[in-house]
Amino acid sequence: MRKFLTNALIVLTALAFLPHPLLLAGTEIVQMNRSVIPRFTLEQAILTALQRNASIQIAREEIERTKGLYIAVRAEALPQISSNLNVQNIDPKLGSISTGGGSGGLSGVPTQYNISLQATQVVFAGGRIISNIRSATFQRDSSYYGFRDTIDLVIATVKQQFYQILLNRALVGVQEESIKLLQSQLTDQTNRFEAGTVPRFNVLQAQVALSNQYPVLITAQNNYRISQLQLAKTLGLDFDRS
């Protein structure tokens, strides 16, 4: 009876400290809600980040913005030609009344056209245009260098987070092996206690060691999941509740 109660206590302790089964996915591909968790090699992760990372997308758009700004500022130094076309339709009934021949009649100009062309060019602006062009050129070149720096930073971040996942996964395996070892030690001490070769203190000591090891395993599993989420954010993956 005492052996049965001791084994039941071991099972209840394990169930109390183990996380939900869905959270023990480890490194295998898990299918939940008809969606498959993607797996990446380091090269695939880097390529995905280059295509979908938010910082890289922002840096790419900054290049387009500065290019447009340079074109707009550069255009201020070029000749500007503007045209204006004005078309006016006049109702013939609003024309002047003819007084010749004693008979009344209506006459008028039905349509009037007015076309104007104007060419202008800045001759002197106190160096404002030149300074604006230099500033726009500097911003355009800076956006290119900033884009390259962003790419280098993202690649370095992906590598760091990728290897952090591998490290955390290995630490989870270590803690799982520690749990198995402590469980076997508890079983051994329980059997020895049942045989009367060791005191009950040895069993309690093994139970405490096993109970203290479960939070360490849970922490390692949480770190593993957090590192995966961090890499997914860097890669720009879509959020999936599963």
- The encoded tokens of residue 50 equal 């280059």
Residue pair 141/104 in contact by the 8 Å Cβ criterion: no
Q: Is the pLDDT of residue 17 over 60?
A: no
Q: What is the pLDDT of residues 24-67, one digit of tens each?
A: 333 333 333 445 667 889 999 999 999 999 999 999 999 999 98
Query: Could you tell me the pLDDT band of residue 125, with boundaries at 50, 70 and 90?
Result: low
Cα separation, 117 vs 105, whole angstroms: 38
Q: What is the pLDDT of residue 241?
A: 61
Kindly list the structural domains of the chain, giving each domain's residue range(s) and its CATH number in brackets, ordered by start.
2-72+127-235 (1.20.1600.10), 79-120 (no CATH)
Q: Which helix (H) or strand (E) holds 229?
A: helix 200-235
Q: How many CB atoms lie within 10 A of CB 231?
A: 21
Residue found under tokens 């109660």: 5
Cβ pair 76, 123 in contact under 8 A: no
d(CA 169, CA 197): 39
- Amino acid identity of 179? I
Contact, 211 vs 9, CB < 8 A?
Answer: no
**pLDDT band, very low/low/confident/very high, at 228 (cuts 50, 70, 90):** very high
Q: Name the residue with tokens 């996380």.
A: 19
